[in-house]
Structure 1
Amino acid sequence: REKLDGFWLTWPLQIPLSWTIPDDYEGVDHIARISPVPVMVIHSVRDGLIPFPHGLRLYEAADEPKTLMRTDTGHGGTFVLPEFKEGLLEFMEGNDDLPRKPR
C-alpha cells in the first residue's frame, strides 16, 4: 500500500487497489505468537522496497529471544555479505538449545 503512495500516477488507484491487499498477513500482528522460538529479523537501512522501519517494528513486536541484524545494502543484497552468513550461523548456534515450536 505504501508503494502506491510513492508515485503520483498510482494515487487514483490507491483506494481500489488497497481493497485487494488483505491485512491478514501483517507479520507484526502475528510474530509474538512464534515465541518461545528464537526470531532473527534481518533488514537493511537502505532497502528501497521495504522501508527499514517495517523491519524495526517487526523486531519490536517479537518476544524474546530475538535478534536484529541491520545491514546497509539494497533489497536482497544482504544475503551476499560475509557478515550475514557469520551472523546467521552465530544466531543458530547461540539458540541451539531453545524450543523449535511456537506456543
Structure 2
Amino acid sequence: MNLKINSHHLEVTPAMRTHLEAGLAKVRKHFDHVLDASAFLIIDNTKEKDLRQTAEITIHLKGKEIFAQAHNADLYHAMDAVVDKLERQVVKHKEKIQDHHHDKHFE
C-alpha cells in the first residue's frame, strides 16, 4: 500500500510517518484490499487551541473511497482518532460486502 502524506504548517517527521503506517497496518488487518492511502496533517492557528491539530486520511479501496477526519490538541492523538474512525468504516464496508449475498432467507 502506498502512503502519501501532505502537511500544512508543519514538517512531517519520520516518527509521524511511522506512527501513521502502524495505524494503517491495523486497518489492513481487517481488510486487505486497500490500494493506497493519502494523509493530510494540519496545524490551524485560527481555531480553538483544543482542536487545532487535524489529521485527515483517505483510503482508496477497489470501487470505493473512505475518508475520516479528527481534531485534537495533540497531533498524535488526532492521528490515532482518525485511524480508529477508518477502522470502524472499513469493518462496516467489509461486512456489507460479505453480507451482500447472504441476505436471502430460505424457510
What TM-score results when the alignment is normalised by the length of structure 1?
0.29
Which structure is higher in strand share? Answer: 2
What TM-score results when the alignment is normalised by the length of structure 2?
0.28
